[in-house]
Amino acid sequence: MMPKMIPLLRSLIAGFSLLALAWAPLPAQRTTPAPAPVGVRPIDWPALAEETTRIMAGYLKIDTSNLPGNELAGALYLKDVLEREGIEAQILDTAALGTGRANIYARIKGNGSKKAIALVHHIDVVPATPSFWTVPPFSGEIRDGFLWGRGALDMKGHGIVQLMAMIALKRSGVPLNRDIVFIGNADEELGSTGAVVFVRDHPELIRDVEYLLTEKTLNDVRDGKLVHFSIGVAEKRTFWQRLTVQGVPSHGSMPTKQNPVPRLVAAVHRLATFETPLEVTPGVERYFRDIARTYDEPQRSWLSDVRRALDDSTARAWILDNSTWNAYLRVTIAPTVLAGSNKTNVIPPEASAEVDVRILPHHNRDSVLAMLKRVVNDTAVHFTTLIEPKAPLESPLESPVVRAIERAALERRPDLFVTTPLLNGATDRPTYQAAGILTYAVDPFLVDVAEDRMGVHGNNERISLENIGFGVKYLYDILRYVQ
């Protein structure tokens, strides 16, 4: 960043602290307003928040429930907003994905001295059942200080915050070293085909992209209190397996040794009770060390050195008792689907089970599969992989993106911290990571964990107007600081 920019940034930051959220009061900062550098226009933040809310409401009104998705309608809406700002946008891939499906791509130019950064969201949403909602899920209604609608949190709301942060940078004329790329993908919620087709068919559009920001991490807000900001640097990978045992069908009244059901059950039991090795990945190690300060002793010491804690039986038991943390530290194995006979008196010819296996970012699928077979220790049990793991995703803990998020977060709450929880679920990020882009998840909102659990894929999904204003300024700052 150019040194002459810094006084302006300070005055922008000080101005924004007056709008600080109710749960995040900041002492007014004493700064002397400096004249803006030539060519940089100030932003009217309350007006931008209102404009963002209006554009978000319009986007939420477009039903992009997947299936059928209908992302083309959403993409056309975004294209319209972009073109009003003089930003050219391309609708892509409708043919490859089928009727009504689309990705969108746009870019604003920097001076080219550094590589580009991409903002990625998905246009589709999961379906909503109107009868369970207080307001119709595609009304985009504003009520009680909230904008309501499917996608407000996951993730059309985030997508509009990305869009408006980019537009605000263009309008204000802040000098950019990096191009900013805006991508909206189809079909994240079902098959991830939008991101896959985009990366496969348009490598030239992202060849110069170094970093990427998208969902899915959560700033930790509990009972209205922000505990920490988050950056997603890594995610687990799905490696689903089906176990099958062949047998000889016969009558249940005269059991034989060729009944495949007990053999399968024994295999499933061995897997379910197996203690997979514990491993501490870089992001997880940092996460535990960071959150240690929010605990009393002895937990504080345990978390501050989790490797040592895992060698201590009391500490290990306490850490692994938390199912989220347990999943951060190992391959997890969850048998879920069972199939044998559908008649009590018939011994079936085959029995099968499906097992939800999730591996850590750095794991090799062959070694994990060999481990599972070793544990089962029965060659009659046949393994079929139902889902191959996506590309490994563990982005560096040190990067301009991480520093930019830390700076933007700590300016808002110098008393708190930013940390790197692992994502136990899965996203489109590995598709981009495999194309050579370092991807990070950022959360532009401060949404209570209870509210998030209720709304995301649930009923009455909504985002507060306060959060919309917070999010657009937070992402704007992150994009400025990453330059």
Q: Which residues bind Zn ion (CB under 5 A)?
A: 154-155, 215
Please, which residue, 199 or 416, has the CB nearer to Zn ion? 199
CB–CB of 287/421 below 8 Å? yes
What are the tokens at 355?
Answer: 């097992």
| Shortest Å, Cβ 426 to Zn ion | 11
User: Could you tell me where the beta strands, DSSP code E, fall in 316-402?
Assistant: 332-339, 346-347, 350-359, 382-385
β-bridge mates for residue 244, sequence order: 352, 382
What are the tokens at 267?
Answer: 């295999």
Please, which residue, 425 or 436, has the CB nearer to Zn ion? 425
CB–CB of 53/27 below 8 Å? no
Distance in angstroms (rounded) separating the CA atoms of residues 30 and 14 = 8
Distance in angstroms (rounded) separating the CA atoms of residues 427 and 214 = 10
| Shortest Å, Cβ 214 to Zn ion | 9
User: Is residue 310 classed exposed, middle or buried when 0-12, 13-18 and 19+ CB atoms within 10 A define those classes?
Assistant: middle
From the list 275, 380, 272, the residue with the least C-alpha distance to 334 is 272
| Shortest Å, Cβ 87 to Zn ion | 24
Please, which residue, 12 or 155, has the CB nearer to Zn ion? 155
| Shortest Å, Cβ 231 to Zn ion | 17
- Which residue has tokens 């990020």? 429
| Shortest Å, Cβ 40 to Zn ion | 34
| Shortest Å, Cβ 194 to Zn ion | 12
Please, which residue, 161 or 268, has the CB nearer to Zn ion? 161
Cis peptide before 130 (omega within 30 of 0): no
Q: What share of the chain is helix, strand, coil (3-state, %, to 5)?
A: 40, 20, 40
What are the tokens at 372?
Answer: 């599972």
Q: Looking at residue 234, what DSSP letter applies?
A: B
| Shortest Å, Cβ 236 to Zn ion | 16
Distance in angstroms (rounded) separating the CA atoms of residues 103 and 194 = 6
Residues 6+ apart with CB under 8 A from 466: 21, 22, 145
Please, which residue, 194 or 348, has the CB nearer to Zn ion? 194
Residues 6+ apart with CB under 8 A from 4: 37
Distance in angstroms (rounded) separating the CA atoms of residues 339 and 184 = 40
Find the farthest-apart pair of alpha carbons in the chain and give their distance in angstroms, rounded: 92
Q: Between 45-60 and 465-481, two packed helices, what is the crossing angle to 10 degrees?
A: 110
Please, which residue, 283 or 455, has the CB nearer to Zn ion? 455
Please, which residue, 154 or 354, has the CB nearer to Zn ion? 154
Please, which residue, 155 or 233, has the CB nearer to Zn ion? 155
What are the tokens at 125?
Answer: 């949403």
Please, which residue, 60 or 155, has the CB nearer to Zn ion? 155
| Shortest Å, Cβ 98 to Zn ion | 21
What are the tokens at 100?
Answer: 């009504």
Please, which residue, 155 or 291, has the CB nearer to Zn ion? 155
* 284: helix, strand or coil: helix
Please, which residue, 348 or 455, has the CB nearer to Zn ion? 455
Residues 6+ apart with CB under 8 A from 193: 97, 186, 187
Please, which residue, 110 or 157, has the CB nearer to Zn ion? 157
| Shortest Å, Cβ 280 to Zn ion | 28
| Shortest Å, Cβ 144 to Zn ion | 24
What are the tokens at 226?
Answer: 């922000």
| Shortest Å, Cβ 155 to Zn ion | 4
| Shortest Å, Cβ 133 to Zn ion | 19
